[in-house]
Amino acid sequence: MNDKRHDRRDVELDRYFALARHAPPDISGVERNFETRVMARIREGREAWYAWAWRLAPVFLALTILLAGWSLSYSPVHPADAVATLASGTQEVALLDNLTGE
């Protein structure tokens, strides 16, 4: 009884599949000029990339100018008397040694 029921269902399902197979979906509307639309999307994607590059160009320009300005204005401290600097350093080390008892 149960097997018969399963057979009936298999047959019924196969009927659905057979009918659906013989009714290929209609693609004519989408197929018309499809390649034109695909190429338009591809070009759109490319143009979007260029557009972003151009949009970011002023930001990069401003960054370059800022960095150039900063590197020109930057002047590290160069003490005139290098011996004095070394000496002061030595004194600090000596003081630390004294304080820590070394």
Partner 1 sequence: MYALGVPIAVPDEDADLVRSAIGGDDEAFTELVRRHKGTVLRNAARFARNPAELEDLGQETFLRVYRDLRSFRGDAPFGHWLSRITVHVCYDALRKRRREEKDVSLEVLATPVADPSTGNGPSAQLARMILDQAMSRLKPEDRLVITLFELEDRSVREVAGLTGWSETRVKVRAFRARQTLKRLIGGDDER
28-67 footprint of partner 1 as x/- string (CB under 8 A): -xxx--xx-xxx-xxx-x----------------------
Q: Does 7 bind partner 1 (CB under 8 A)?
A: no
Q: How far apart are CA 100 and CA 23, in angstroms?
A: 95
Amino acid letter for position 49: W
Residue with tokens 């149960």, as numbered in its chain: 2
Residue corresponding to tokens 């630390």: 96
Q: Is 4 in the site for partner 1 (CB under 8 A)?
A: no
Please give the residue ranges that form the binding site for partner 1 (CB under 8 A).
6, 9-10, 12-13, 15-27, 29-31, 34-35, 37-39, 41-43, 45
